[in-house]
Structure 1
């Protein structure tokens, strides 16, 4: 190699190193002032490299799902039952991609309101039944089920709404049933979130591509810095791994070992990015905004009814599956639960009075961080303490010294798709719960779902199992502790979001969460139905009107 070529190569490497360094300045800014000052003096000497390239395609469902502590026979039986409970019907041959024209088309599909059994009249306390017929893009009726539908009954006039219960007949027909809970107008709305063919693609991605969201960690020692790829399940045949499995819960986490540095020099954790081109061209056609992602299905006739006041003989609603599945409804934008304690509305002074002398711990993803932000915004005496935490990442703490209120938030352990987090701040919820004293003046709020949508469901079951055990230990040693679990909620979807964070993934995880905590003395705030039933569009982070209702549900149990 000539000297000129050698010098040219060195110049290119130096330029690449400088570009990589500039991209990571935001990471350095999260360090404390002294560390940043020291590192800034050495920037020209830092050697950067990226080891462990973006993961390639691997069928590692079994490998990923079986990581962590071995489950007991009882836990294996529970896992089998949970997986069976979320089994989803699909196309006769899910392995062979279906041409778009043969897939479910919301524009050709329609729903019909079935006649009332009460001489054409509907009364408060009755049920309304709707039949949905799904057709393909050629206008032919579908012969199998598996489409993911959402439905609500609502009244703009009364700002009222209730989620519908969808039953798949597995032949292209779906029943949707609604409880009639207010007097006056009620309009039906049915939405096809995904076709059955699209759901089959999502199933494949969940089982085969847990690497489609990947993570990075920065390693640093002296004059050297390296960044490597991390994830819960990394193929070990692509290089040596650093094992960061949690010693107490056994929750696995790995990074590819840096070329020059040891595993102990890890500084932080960050979302690396999203893998692209993970579907075929045919599969991509199943995820088109405005065509087959969250598109309304039209009514074949009228789409609204008028509900009369409750009749004397029908005041008590029969306890069937629809009633048990409906947790509440909105009226005048206020959530009215159908079970549990009476719902109260709390203004800022009432919230302060309710939380006086109490500690509120919040653990999980950004949807429970919303609760922390809400309380800080509405309570004038609750001041956020500056912990110099990264914005939107935490940990966060707010104090009202006058009324002796403490509110804290901390994100859950990996996988977490936040921006850069110091490795020392990565904590697992189960371990945090084991460190709490608890008691009647302690409220614990948990939300953990969105960041698990790219992994096999077994991974989520394992994580919830550790949290459930920790919750049981907390309630056993500190009776009176209120544990609140926020469920999943639907969100706005386009093609990219669908492949990584679809409502279908969220709904599956939500079903598992409710089942695993059933029978335990915890409060589940039904964010799913509270979002589906509301007049606002679906958002990953619901608007303040919905968050306020969630806070009211929690506080109604804190201060009944």
Structure 2
């Protein structure tokens, strides 16, 4: 080849290189803003699971980037199938995917009836109340299939009492709700439709196939130059090179698109990238209308109130049976009363709490609903002083110390995914790794609450995270059996149209079932935030009101100090 030809080839290669750099630099600049849609197609995010066909299952599930992270063992795959089957939800009948709004569930036309076969009905403490609910559409026609999400409570403002109900779906538009009768006097039934079955079909699709509807980013910086890049648990590899931040110990995957001019080592922080818009159609949006078909009360066909008489002799033994009652506790006179024989104490002043926590190390790991526990203790204990006041208000980490009584309380947010203000990478740590650094012992309390930031991901992602935490808990209890481990469940929250698409009570309920199942055989304490919020008169909120937070903390303290002594359950 002649020298002249080589010169032309070299010029062409240089031009192609310049075009490539300019293109990538443009992408990098565009990602520095809080865009409203992710700059890539979502179709490559979900791939079929390669789980063994020999495993028992009711359905075929799809997983979120199954090629990432550590491979599952056969036992873990079997457990995952079992967990997914346990949260199976009724599907819409075939051919009903394109229903008009008037054909969907309407709480205003729906009714409930208190069931009784007696001419003069009487209810006694220890009995079980049954309520029948008939869902109807916007034209008042009875629904012929199930799958709606209903929440129910029996309450009495006079006695400041309340208990959550158990909802049974008959899959034909009819629902039964069962309530244990636990106090004398008047009691009022409250039934709420959270989502129609048609709305849940949309939520299921978003959860399983649009995990990018909340996305994340990180800043990369060297000197005066910085670039903001999209990050997530899974990113399409055909959209440019990736930086791999998968945790070496747990195998939890995390990736960012590689900056144009900087290396992967220059990543300095993590923050929420944005919320993807336009993920549902205008027709589907009608299924998520606040005050119309999202968290709306269903009225009684006749009466919604009963009067409960003192217990019969044969009912007395049933009152404290949480298995038979399918409830963990109830409120009476404004106080939470756990069932199952556990004696809960009220810690109403700083001296009682201080006495209980003297010589204790309390480690709190999780999301902002767990941070509420830390903030509550700091607010009620005058001698418990924050040490690291300069850390970000929401993300922490935080530490508070009472040197006089030798008390240390520490809070740390869980690792990615985290929807949060900018937080330094060095401060984002996985709970499992933190637990492996805890010495443990009779003076150590570990509390865990992790759920809210996983609602936009397929359930397999949440299962995988809980499995790593559970393994770390087992290791902690093996080396220090007297360590008290407390696990906080999820809770219902306020829902508006847009919020429902990113963190719905239906998504939360599915997570809640998984969490309870995965920790049920461990020597840990479960604080039932779901029922504590549902049974209370305060409105549902992602961050429950202070009075409910106090109840949760009092339950933890009751396990720490039973009659002034440490109780390990």
Answer yes or no: same fold by TM over 0.5: yes
TM alignment of 1:425-504, pairs within 5 A:
425-504=427-506
| Structure-2 residue corresponding to 1:131 | 132
Contact 1:55-1:211 at 8 Å conserved across structures: no
1:112 & 1:129 partners in 2: Cα distance? 9
2:45 to 52, 60, 69: 60
What's the CA shift string for 1:207-234, capped at 9, x where partnerless?
Answer: 1000000001000012310000001111
Question: Structure 1 residues 255, 474: closer, same or farther in 2, change over 3 A?
Answer: same
| Structure-2 residue corresponding to 1:269 | 270
- Which has the higher mean CA deviation after the structures are superposed, 242-251 or 337-346? 337-346
| Structure-2 residue corresponding to 1:73 | 74
- Which has the higher mean CA deviation after the structures are superposed, 88-97 or 459-468? 88-97
Question: Structure 1 residues 418, 120: closer, same or farther in 2, change over 3 A?
Answer: same
| Structure-2 residue corresponding to 1:40 | none
Q: Does 1:141 align with 2:126?
A: no
1:532 & 1:252 partners in 2: Cα distance? 34
| Structure-2 residue corresponding to 1:394 | 396
| Structure-1 residue corresponding to 2:381 | 379
What's the CA shift string for 1:343-366, capped at 9, x where partnerless?
Answer: 100122111000000000000000
Contact 2:38-2:212 at 8 Å conserved across structures: no
| Structure-2 residue corresponding to 1:8 | none
Contact 1:90-1:197 at 8 Å conserved across structures: no
How far the C-alpha of 1:324 sits from its partner, in A, is 4.7
How far the C-alpha of 1:311 sits from its partner, in A, is 1.2
| Structure-2 residue corresponding to 1:194 | 195
What's the CA shift string for 1:464-506, capped at 9, x where partnerless?
Answer: 0000000000000001100000000000000111000000000
What's the CA shift string for 1:348-400, capped at 9, x where partnerless?
Answer: 21110000000000000000000000000001111111252111110000000
> 3-state DSSP class of the match of 2:183?
coil
Question: Structure 1 residues 528, 58: closer, same or farther in 2, change over 3 A?
Answer: same
Contact 1:94-1:200 at 8 Å conserved across structures: no
TM alignment of 1:243-322, pairs within 5 A:
243-317=244-318
Contact 2:152-2:189 at 8 Å conserved across structures: yes
How far the C-alpha of 1:340 sits from its partner, in A, is 5.2
How far the C-alpha of 1:318 sits from its partner, in A, is 8.1
What's the CA shift string for 1:170-223, capped at 9, x where partnerless?
Answer: 000000000000000100000000000000000000010000000010000123
Question: Structure 1 residues 427, 307: closer, same or farther in 2, change over 3 A?
Answer: same
> 3-state DSSP class of the match of 1:451?
helix
Contact 1:94-1:197 at 8 Å conserved across structures: no
1:349 to 339, 345, 351: 351
How far the C-alpha of 1:319 sits from its partner, in A, is 9.0
| Structure-2 residue corresponding to 1:33 | none
1:320 & 1:160 partners in 2: Cα distance? 18
2:102 & 2:166 partners in 1: Cα distance? 28
1:236 & 1:387 partners in 2: Cα distance? 40
| Structure-2 residue corresponding to 1:403 | 405
> 3-state DSSP class of the match of 2:64?
helix
> 3-state DSSP class of the match of 2:426?
helix
| Structure-2 residue corresponding to 1:540 | 542
Contact 1:65-1:459 at 8 Å conserved across structures: no
Question: Structure 1 residues 519, 559: closer, same or farther in 2, change over 3 A?
Answer: same
TM alignment of 1:153-172, pairs within 5 A:
153-172=154-173
Contact 1:219-1:266 at 8 Å conserved across structures: yes
TM-score normalised by length of structure 1: 0.89
Q: Does 1:213 align with 2:214?
A: yes
> 3-state DSSP class of the match of 1:167?
strand
Query: Which 4+ runs in 1 deviate beyond 4 A?
Result: 17-21, 116-119, 318-322
How far the C-alpha of 1:58 sits from its partner, in A, is 2.4
| Structure-2 residue corresponding to 1:9 | none
| Structure-2 residue corresponding to 1:6 | none
Question: Structure 1 residues 321, 389: closer, same or farther in 2, change over 3 A?
Answer: closer
> 3-state DSSP class of the match of 2:280?
coil
| Structure-2 residue corresponding to 1:507 | 509
Structure 1: segments with no counterpart, 5+ residues? 1-16, 25-49
| Structure-2 residue corresponding to 1:89 | 90
> 3-state DSSP class of the match of 2:142?
coil
1:558 to 557, 560, 563: 560
Contact 1:59-1:208 at 8 Å conserved across structures: no
Contact 2:133-2:175 at 8 Å conserved across structures: yes
Structure 2: segments with no counterpart, 5+ residues? 1-27, 48-62, 563-569
2:442 & 2:163 partners in 1: Cα distance? 33
Contact 1:387-1:395 at 8 Å conserved across structures: no
What's the CA shift string for 1:126-167, capped at 9, x where partnerless?
Answer: 000000000011111000000000000000001100000000
How far the C-alpha of 1:306 sits from its partner, in A, is 0.4
1:303 & 1:467 partners in 2: Cα distance? 43
| Structure-1 residue corresponding to 2:332 | 331
